[in-house]
Chains A and B, each alone.
Chain A
């Protein structure tokens, strides 16, 4: 079973994303902060991750940037719902630079979510450890 990490501080959104993915054959793990994600990625294998742009005090794109800076090549899908200083264009451009697989703008459909996650985790052999 493919394992996906959801980095989202808004519990109701995390639950909803998890709800769709789990009903479609993924295993999900939810964390609320960049630090928790980084810690988990050191000890656990994931096929891919979903990261929210506005993580309360943190910027999800900064979290992604710091993962990339550490050499982490995990496929990542960025979720955005706007927020101060986050226009749709600026999020897309920066996500692209940070080698994100896709950007999803909330509210997105289940198909969009599954398509993005499947594209980012194409390797059928990428299973949870």
Chain B
């Protein structure tokens, strides 16, 4: 062996690569200054003659294991290379890349290169990876990382479990090479789309039609990821199983339809009871007076009795007329109605026929408030509400009519709208005394009225509610901060626009021009 120049040894030692020599029996013969430093000793510390494996602060058990490894090395007579773990007096652990070799027949030289920072950093990295992997595995969603060519780089437990495969069997392979994952071909078009566009493909609902997941519903997101070179080389897939939610929504819609049917039947029962009560109360006196007149045609109050019979017939007729208009609810004439032009048209008419002293105010929040409704019925609904508002304040003062969009109908009502929204609405607010909570609970019931007989028969609001629920909407009522009643007509918002503007003829220039063209043809 070519002897080392002492200067070279010192140069190496100065670069913090230490070396020590000890006897076969483990007793230290020499330790370089770097070795002393690395092993946690001062330059003056007495090391010579002490057994090397007991010089640190590790446990006795670890030290005896170290000695056993040393004996193996002695027996093999070969070079040894590995990581030496060492515990400093303060308890901190150090790691050295080390080599051990025979220096002479009975002396060993060991070279130490401090790798503590790297080992700790790597451990931290591994710990982090384990942590992230643990989190990803426990998430209730599927996660997969793939190369451009489809090779799986990562798949979390949730996704692997869904397809009945093990993560370790899938990593490094392409989906169609892994039994079970070949059923992922429904993802492929999205995969290609994300690769081609380089942009994320998010929130795509997918229904799986084959394989173990047949019949399940997923929401899929794909994110292209750029590698260190900046080119797109990986694709992250995140998948949510939303089968339960989809099924729940399906069940809910069935349930809602059934509920709506039940509501209709219940409403019909209530209506029949109310109608019977109302008509019997009207018919009974008519019968009494008719019989009295028959028995004694020259009654002294003959005129009065005849008038009462006539009044009863007229009242019964009024009930029948309104019953017919209610029966017309459940309409088929739904079409987009532009609320702005509808209300402007309606109010110009209403203001014309209003008694002096009654003023209508219109406030429409924004353009493009398009309801899906029956415009003829909506006109009747609005006239009913306006007449009620006018009655509530003795046909004088202000009535505020507004329109807007958004919000949800109050949940505490007896019936729910068939439509899930979004809604547009019209509100009618009066300056009356408002409506008590008890009355609010019954106000849409047929034949419920707070007015005296002859003034109203209690069908108006039932007709209104019947028509609006027929369009999938609902009418709600509350009291305003000022105390008056506020009726809100909630209607499903239409995505389509009205085909013909609901504006009356001549209301804008364009219409007039089109009309002229028509005349000249």
Contact = CB atoms under 8 A, between A and B. Distances in A.
A38 interface: no
Interface in B280-317: 280-289, 291-292, 308, 312
A121 to B, nearest CB: 20
B276 interface: yes
Contacts of B292: 19-20, 23
B189 to A, nearest CB: 58
A54 B285 contact: no
Given A12-B312, A15-B285, A16-B288, 14 more contacts: A10-B453, A12-B282, A12-B308, A12-B453, A17-B288, A54-B277, A82-B276, A83-B274, A84-B269, A86-B273, A106-B283, A106-B284, A107-B286, A110-B291
Contacts of B283: 106-107
A11 interface: yes
A87 B312 CA distance: 24
Given A19-B292, A109-B291, A12 B285 contact: yes
B270 interface: yes
* Pairs of residues from A and B, 10 with the lowest C-beta to C-beta distance, nearest first: A82-B276, A81-B280, A16-B285, A106-B280, A83-B277, A107-B284, A84-B273, A16-B288, A84-B270, A106-B284
A16 B277 contact: no
Contacts of A57: 438
A85 interface: yes
A13 interface: yes
A108 B284 contact: yes
Please classify how large the interface on chain B is, using the bins under 10, 10 to 19, 20 to 34, 35 or more: 20 to 34
A13 B453 CA distance: 12
Interface string A96-113: 000000000111111000
A86 B445 CA distance: 15
Contacts of B277: 54, 81-83, 86
Interface string A22-39: 010000000000000000
A23 B274 CA distance: 31
A10 B454 CA distance: 12
Contact of A20 (B280, B288, B445): B288
Given A11-B453, A23-B292, A107 B287 contact: yes
Secondary structure type dominating chain A contacts: loop
Interface of B: 269-270, 272-289, 291-292, 308, 312, 438, 445, 453
B288 A82 contact: no
B281 A81 contact: yes
Nearest to B289: A16
Contacts of A13: 281, 284-285
A57 B439 CA distance: 10
A57 B71 CA distance: 103
Contacts of B445: 84
Most-contacted residue by chain B among A11, A19, A105 (CB, 10 A): A19
A54 to B, nearest CB: 5
Interface residues of A, number: 24
Contacts of B308: 12
A37 B196 CA distance: 86
Nearest to B278: A81
Contacts of A110: 288, 291
A82 B284 contact: no
Max chain B Cβ within 10 angstroms of own Cβ: one of A85, A105, A106, A110: A106
A19 B273 contact: no
B273 A83 contact: yes
Contact of A107 (B273, B275, B280, B453): B280
Given A107-B284, A110-B291, A83 B276 contact: yes
Interface centre among B273, B276, B283 (most CB of A within 10 A): B276
Contacts of B284: 13, 16, 81, 106-108
Nearest to A81: B280
Contacts of A107: 280, 283-284, 286-287
Interface in A63-116: 81-86, 105-110
Contacts of B285: 12-13, 15-16
Nearest to B277: A83
A39 B510 CA distance: 72
A17 B486 CA distance: 40
Contacts of A16: 284-285, 288-289
A115 to B, nearest CB: 15
B457 to A, nearest CB: 12
A123 B395 CA distance: 55
B289 A19 contact: yes
Contact of A10 (B269, B273, B281, B291): B281
30 contacts: A10-B281, A11-B453, A12-B281, A12-B285, A13-B284, A13-B285, A16-B288, A16-B289, A17-B288, A19-B292, A20-B292, A81-B276, A81-B280, A81-B284, A82-B277, A83-B273, A83-B274, A83-B276, A83-B277, A84-B269, A84-B273, A84-B274, A84-B445, A86-B277, A106-B283, A107-B283, A107-B286, A107-B287, A109-B287, A110-B291
A81 B463 CA distance: 22
Nearest to A105: B280
Q: Which has the most chain B C-beta neighbours within 10 Å: A54, A84, A107? A: A84
A71 to B, nearest CB: 31
B160 to A, nearest CB: 60
A82 B276 CA distance: 5
